[in-house]
């Protein structure tokens, strides 16, 4: 039989140790400061040694308290995650978080195919640029952009980022048939994050000293693609996100032979606790296979 300390006392100590403040811990757990103090004393008595020490008016952890906190926090997070999973109905929804640009320009256009293949799965999509570390149990899967390496999460590479100028067919007709990089400067350049990509592209194309005008600055790559499709200028677009627009003819590549790679890539991430969930696994497998087909098409474009 496991000999466990009082779990209420453990929660009280963990909150107090994270905040190094009994009152803030009490606010987090919706109890009184006196209750936190009582629970911490109870745990210290159970362990037979102190966990906190006061240095003047400052609360500090003892070496034992520091080591105990380092083990307790991930343990409580695992208990919370396991409990959240157990509370979900077997036919509960699959909840996904995605970057707004990745959702709008890639995922959403493919959702009819997913719904046709898996009508039994209730997929709930939330778009946000906020980081998700998997400990937040609101989500089961995440679509993210980054250099890779997601601590505590399983991950699958969906696509690398390849960038090339993109514009509307009407704007392309206004450019010379044999378009060169300087020809693009006759039109507004559309900048998204990071802004330095245009300078990198001109350098790779053999024009390192060509000044890059200010143009129109947008904070989202999906907005840049939309502005380009609307004829507002030339975007340095991500081919993975632009694949549907290229197939439909809403966007074209004025300099198709000139492309650069980005350090960032697109990833599917999920907590290991979801590996055995059949509905989440079905969504995960569908995303990976769809991305593989899309990436192949982008490479061949």
Work out the average pLDDT over 160-176: 94
Q: Poorest-confidence range of 224-233, 247-256, 258-267?
A: 258-267
Q: Is residue 244 located within the same domain as residue 285?
A: yes
- CATH code where residue 285 lies: 3.40.190.290
Selected residue with higher pLDDT from 152 and 103: 103
Of the candidates 168, 170, 218, which has an alpha carbon nearest to the alpha carbon of residue 197? 218
Q: Which burial class, exposed, middle or buried, applies to 131 when counting CB atoms under 10 A from its CB (0-12, 13-18, 19+)?
A: exposed
Q: Is residue 134 located within the same domain as residue 28?
A: no
Residue 170: the pLDDT is 96
Residue 92: the pLDDT is 67
**Within 13 Å, how many C-alpha atoms sit on residue 48's CB side?**
0
Selected residue with higher pLDDT from 154 and 301: 154
For residue 116, say if its preceding peptide bond is cis, omega within 30 degrees of 0.
no
Work out the average pLDDT over 96-114: 92
The tally of domains found in the chain comes to: 2
pLDDT digits (tens, 9 = 90+) for 53-103: 988 778 999 999 999 999 998 888 878 767 766 655 555 689 999 999 999
**Rounded mean pLDDT of the chain?**
88
Domain presence at residue 180: yes
Looking at 87, 111, 141, which one is the last position of a domain? 87
Domain around 14:
7-87
Residue 62: the pLDDT is 94
What's this model's pTM, rounded to 2 decimal places? 0.66
Q: Is residue 13 located within the same domain as residue 67?
A: yes
């Amino acid at each position: 039989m496991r000999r466990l300390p009082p779990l209420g006392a453990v929660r009280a100590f963990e909150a107090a140790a994270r905040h190094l403040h009994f009152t803030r811990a009490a606010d987090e757990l919706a109890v009184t400061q006196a209750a936190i103090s009582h629970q911490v004393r109870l745990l210290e008595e159970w362990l037979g040694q102190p966990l906190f020490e006061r240095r003047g008016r400052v609360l500090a952890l003892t070496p034992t308290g520091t080591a105990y906190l380092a083990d307790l926090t991930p343990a409580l997070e695992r208990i919370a995650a396991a409990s959240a999973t157990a509370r979900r109905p077997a036919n509960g929804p699959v909840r996904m978080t995605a970057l707004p640009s990745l959702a709008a320009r890639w995922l959403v256009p493919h959702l009819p195919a997913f719904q046709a293949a898996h009508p039994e799965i209730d997929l709930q999509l939330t778009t946000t640029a906020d980081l998700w570390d998997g400990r937040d149990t609101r989500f089961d899967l995440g679509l993210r952009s980054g250099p890779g390496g997601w601590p505590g999460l399983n991950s699958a590479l969906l696509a690398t980022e390849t960038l090339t100028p993109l514009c509307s067919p009407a704007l392309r007709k206004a450019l010379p048939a044999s378009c060169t990089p300087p020809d693009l400067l006759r039109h507004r350049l559309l900048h998204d994050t990071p802004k330095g990509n245009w300078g990198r592209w001109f350098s790779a194309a053999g024009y390192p000293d060509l000044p890059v005008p200010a143009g129109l600055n947008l904070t989202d790559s999906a907005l840049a693609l939309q502005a380009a499709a609307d004829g507002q200028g030339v975007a340095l677009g991500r081919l993975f996100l632009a694949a549907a627009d290229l197939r439909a003819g809403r966007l074209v590549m004025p300099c198709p032979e000139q492309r650069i790679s980005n350090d960032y890539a697109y990833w599917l991430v999920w907590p290991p606790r979801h590996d055995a969930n059949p509905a989440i696994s079905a969504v995960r497998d569908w995303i990976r296979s769809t991305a593989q087909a899309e990436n192949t098409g982008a490479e061949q474009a």
